[in-house]
Amino acid sequence: MSSTSIRKRVAGRSALSLRTLLVAALACGSMTVAMPAQAAPAAPAAPPEIADAESAPDKATAAAIAEEYDHPVIDDSSLTETTTVEVLPDGTEQLTISAEPVRVRQDDGWVDVSTELAEKSDGMLAPTASPVQVEFSPGGTGPLARVQTTTGTWMTIASPLGELPDAVVDDSSVTYPEVLPGVDLRLTATINGMTEVLVIKTPEAADNPRLDEVRFGISGAKVADGQAAESATATAPDGSQLVSPSPMWWDSADGGDADGPGGAGLAQPIEAQNSAAAITVDASAPAEAQDVTYPAYVDPDFTGGTQAWTLVDSAYPNASYWLGSNRGADNQAHVGHINAANSPDGRAHTDRTFWQLKTEGLAGKHILNAHFNTQQLYSSACTSNVYNLWFTGMVDPNTTWNRQPAFIAPVSKTTLGPQRSNCAHQYGVGLDAMYVANWAAGNGAPHVTVGLTADNEGDWTSWRRFTSGASMTVRYNTPPGTPWGMNTAGQGCATTGPGPVLRHNDVNKISLAVLASDWDPGGVTVVFWVQDSAGRSVIPANPYDFINAGTKQNGVFDVKVPDGLPDGSYRWLSQAVDGIDSSGFSPYCYFQIRNAAPAAPVLTATVPTTTIVSVGTPMTVTLAQRSAADNVVGFAWKWGTSANAPTYTALPACGSDSQAGGIHYVCGSTATITVAPVDAPVGELTVWAFGEAKARSAPTTLRWSTMAQSPDNLYATAHQWTTDAGGPVPLAECDSTSTPVNCVADNNPHPDRATGQYPIAVPEGVTLGAEGTLNFASTAKTPMMSAPGVVVDTTKSFTVGGWMTPTVASTLHQTAISERGQTSSGFSLQLTPERKWSFVVSATTQNNAGRATVGTPITLGVPVYVTGVYDAINHELRVYQNGVLSATRAYRQPAGPTASLGFTLGSGFANGVAGDFYTGRIGNPFVVQGVLTPQQIQDVSSGGFFPGLD
83, pLDDT greater than 80: yes
Q: What is the pLDDT of residue 208?
A: 92
d(CA 345, CA 343): 5
Contacts 24+ apart (CB under 8 A), 170-176: 171/115, 171/116, 171/117, 172/115, 172/116, 172/117, 172/127, 172/329, 173/117, 173/258, 173/329, 174/117, 174/125, 174/136, 175/199, 176/137, 176/139
Q: Strand pairing of 296-299 and 837-842?
A: unpaired
Band of the pLDDT at 268, cuts 50, 70, 90? confident
Band of the pLDDT at 226, cuts 50, 70, 90? low
pLDDT single digits (tens) 644-685 = 888 887 788 887 765 667 789 999 999 999 999 999 999 999
Q: What is the pLDDT of residue 41?
A: 39
481, pLDDT greater than 50: yes
The average confidence (pLDDT) of the chain is 84
Q: Is 941 helix (H, G, I), strand (E, B) or coil?
A: helix
36-58 residues labelled b (16+ CB within 10 A) or e (exposed): beebeeeeeeeeeeeeeeeebee
What single-letter amino acid sits at 220?
G
Band of the pLDDT at 916, cuts 50, 70, 90? very high
Q: What is the pLDDT of residue 843?
A: 85
199, pLDDT greater than 90: yes
Radius of gyration of the chain (CA): 46
pLDDT single digits (tens) 530-573 = 998 888 888 765 556 888 888 888 899 999 888 878 888 999 99
Say whether the peptide bond before residue 295 is cis (omega within 30 degrees of 0): yes
Is the pTM higher than 0.75? The answer reads no
Q: CB-based contacts of 370: which residues, under 8 Å, 6+ apart?
A: 432, 433, 434, 436, 437, 438, 472, 473, 474, 475
Q: Is 69 helix (H, G, I), strand (E, B) or coil?
A: helix
641, pLDDT greater than 70: yes
Q: What are the Cα distances from residue 615, in Å, to 292, 340, 609, 640, 931?
A: 123, 119, 14, 14, 7
**Of the listed ranges 29-38, 365-374, 381-390, 414-423, the one predicted with least confidence:** 29-38
First to last CA, the chain: 76
Nearest in space to 686 (alpha carbons), one of 669, 661, 658, 652: 661
Vertex 265 angle, CA 261 and 266, to 5°: 85
pLDDT single digits (tens) 109-119 = 899 999 999 99
Higher-confidence position of 782 and 879: 879
727, pLDDT greater than 70: no
Per-residue pLDDT, averaged over 887-916, amounts to 90
Backbone torsions φ then ψ of 64, nearest 5 degrees = -65, -40
Band of the pLDDT at 778, cuts 50, 70, 90? confident
Are 297 and 256 in contact, with CB atoms under 8 Å apart? yes
d(CA 606, CA 589): 45
d(CA 351, CA 264): 12
Residue 293 DSSP label: -
Number of H helices, E strands in the chain: 8, 69
Q: In sequence order, what DSSP letters do the residues of 322-353 get, joined into one string?
A: GGGTTBTB--EEEEEEE-GGGSTTS--EEEEE
d(CA 840, CA 819): 11
What single-letter amino acid sits at 270?
I
Strands across the sheet containing 568-577:
501-502, 589-593, 568-577, 524-532, 547-552
d(CA 503, CA 872): 35
Per-residue pLDDT, averaged over 336-346, amounts to 88
Q: At what angle do helices 3-11 and 59-69 cross, to 10 degrees?
A: 70
Q: What is the pLDDT of residue 942?
A: 78
3, pLDDT greater than 50: no
pLDDT single digits (tens) 679-694 = 999 999 999 999 877 8
Q: Which helix (H) or strand (E) holds 5?
A: helix 3-11
d(CA 208, CA 896): 105
Backbone torsions φ then ψ of 680, nearest 5 degrees = -135, 150
424, pLDDT greater than 80: no
